């Protein structure tokens, strides 16, 4: 058998093992893994001796801004950032303009995504005014749903709890996971108004407006609704140690709940507001050092399942403001996550196998992609990143692909970088250079996604049963 490519003599890393071997790829799929002398003949060969081969990262939380805010980011620039960052699949959020709330807006998003370098899933919006569109969005090709329980960029209204419950009921029938921006909108709005009324506009006012209780309440409420309906949920950007308790308790009760945190919550603390000013403004906020320490415990005991980025770029003018309320929330992340976290591997804070589990295997399992993605197995898509753990440097926003490259990690020292990225066997980044010919190579993950379809619990109490109306 002649194959397209053999990656030779690498240290191959999965979530469960690490060994020296080679990988053969044909037609975008891994066809063999083993000793180099057992590999078939190939048209191309890559010697990865001294380097590590990982399944490509799956970033389950990015904002590429297109359509509607293309000056901040486009699908082309955002997925170029992903390729350079060793990320082979992204899940993109619905708070664009227009938001991804129905088939028409989904098709706009899919058209924009045609320029993608890497594979992608698209989140559909779960809002109060589009409950009748949720099943159409599933039919149209969304990979998951997003519910904004708290306010964030684009100011999408937070649905009342009754609408969230009904949305959970509808989506639970189809097995798709619902990602939640879990903050209590009412508490935050009152806190911000009170702070503004007394003249607080300093960077730390943003932290004061969003105390951990806003997340604890929202996580707890979402877990109860998921337990009642049988919905699968994912808690986005866990920022506080206090959230770990309701997540642990929900898992113990059998709720299908997963959780992510982001590098900025693991690596930054309240000092960043003094050092970085409005640049560090993000929702939820970067918190005090005690929360950072507790989040690392959550990583180590597996309460936190994944590391994502909440990649949310803005222009420099939009990020820098003496009035914290006037600075847009969020910053770039999809290109910097891997070197930042590999640096933590180099420091011994987690192993490479832990890193693979949290950035690849766990998101693939949670979103119905495993083992086609998130694995290095015969039959898996050849989504591969080759990393050099000895390469050192620093994050430099001047070389990032994002249109909004401002980052609080500028000049942060790093050790360990991706040097090659392959999506379905094709190089999208090679020798630290973007392969521009791979623009448009990315495909919707719905082509391989397989979500289980459990029956909702408490069928006699669903909105459809009570009203006699079935939205199916």
| pLDDT computed for residue 155 by the predictor | 79
Tell whether omega for the bond before 271 is within 30 degrees of 0, i.e. cis. Answer: no
* Model confidence pLDDT, tens digit, residues 293-323: 999 999 999 999 999 999 999 999 999 999 9
> What size, in residues, is the chain?
472
Burial class (CB in 10 A: 0-12, 13-18, 19+), 28: middle
Q: Which secondary-structure segment (H or E) carries 417?
A: strand 413-423
What proportion of the chain, given as a percentage, has pLDDT over 90? Answer: 94
What six digits make up the tokens of 227?
């337990």
pTM of the entire predicted model: 0.97
DSSP 117-180: SSEEEEEEE--GGGGGGHHHHHHHT--EEEEESS--TT-PPPPPHHHHHHHHHHHHTTT-EEEE
Strand, helix or coil for residue 42: strand
Kindly tell me if the per-residue pLDDT of 472 is higher than 60. no
* pLDDT band per the 50, 70, 90 thresholds, residue 4: very high
Domains and CATH numbers, the chain: 2-53+380-391+408-441 (2.30.40.10), 56-371 (3.20.20.140)
Kindly tell me if the per-residue pLDDT of 471 is higher than 60. no
* Model confidence pLDDT, tens digit, residues 272-288: 999 999 999 999 999 99
Yes or no: say if 429 and 124 are a contact pair by the CB < 8 Å rule: no
Integer Cα distance of 398 and 395 in angstroms: 9
Residue with tokens 């992340």: 333
């Amino acid at each position: 058998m002649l194959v397209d490519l053999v990656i030779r003599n690498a240290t191959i890393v999965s979530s469960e093992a690490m060994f020296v071997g080679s990988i053969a790829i044909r037609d975008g799929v891994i066809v063999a893994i083993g000793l180099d002398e057992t590999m078939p003949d190939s048209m191309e060969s890559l010697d990865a001796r001294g380097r590590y081969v990982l399944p490509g990262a799956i970033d389950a939380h990015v904002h590429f801004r297109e359509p509607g805010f293309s000056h901040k980011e486009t699908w082309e620039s955002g997925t170029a950032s992903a390729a350079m960052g060793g990320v082979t699949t992204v899940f993109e959020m619905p708070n664009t303009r227009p938001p991804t709330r129905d088939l028409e807006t989904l098709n706009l998003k899919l058209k924009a995504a045609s320029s993608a370098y890497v594979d992608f899933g698209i989140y559909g919006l779960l809002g109060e005014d589009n409950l009748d569109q949720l099943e159409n969005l599933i039919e149209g090709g969304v990979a998951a749903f997003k519910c904004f329980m708290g306010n964030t960029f684009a100011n999408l209204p937070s649905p009342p709890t009754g609408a969230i419950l009904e949305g959970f009921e509808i989506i639970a029938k189809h097995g798709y996971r619902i990602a939640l921006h879990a903050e209590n909108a009412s508490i935050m709005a009152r806190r911000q108004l009170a702070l503004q009324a007394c003249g607080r506009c300093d960077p730390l006012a943003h932290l004061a407006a969003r105390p951990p209780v806003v997340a604890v309440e929202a996580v707890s409420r979402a877990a109860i609704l998921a337990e009642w309906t049988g919905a699968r949920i994912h808690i986005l950007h866990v920022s506080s140690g206090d959230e770990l308790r309701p997540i642990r308790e929900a898992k113990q009760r059998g709720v299908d709940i997963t959780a992510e945190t982001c590098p900025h919550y693991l690596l930054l603390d309240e000092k960043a507001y003094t050092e970085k000013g409005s640049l560090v403004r993000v929702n939820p906020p970067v918190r005090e050092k005690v929360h950072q320490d507790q989040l690392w415990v959550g990583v180590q005991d597996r309460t936190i399942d994944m590391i994502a980025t909440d990649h949310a770029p803005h222009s420099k003018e939009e990020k820098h403001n003496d009035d914290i309320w006037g600075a847009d929330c969020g910053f770039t992340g999809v290109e910097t996550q891997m070197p930042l976290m590999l640096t933590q591997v180099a420091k011994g804070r987690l192993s490479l196998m832990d890193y693979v589990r949290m950035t690849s295997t766990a998101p693939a399992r949670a979103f119905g992609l495993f083992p086609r993605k998130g694995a290095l197995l015969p039959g898996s898509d050849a989504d591969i990143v080759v990393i050099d753990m000895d390469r050192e440097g620093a994050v430099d926003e001047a070389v990032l692909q994002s249109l909004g490259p401002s980052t609080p990690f500028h000049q942060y020292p790093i050790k360990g970088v991706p040097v090659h990225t392959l999506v379905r066997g094709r190089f999208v980044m090679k020798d630290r250079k973007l392969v521009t010919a791979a623009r448009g190579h990315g495909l919707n993950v719905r082509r391989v996604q397989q979500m289980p379809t459990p029956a909702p619990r408490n069928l006699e109490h669903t909105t459809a049963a009570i009203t006699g109306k079935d939205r199916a």
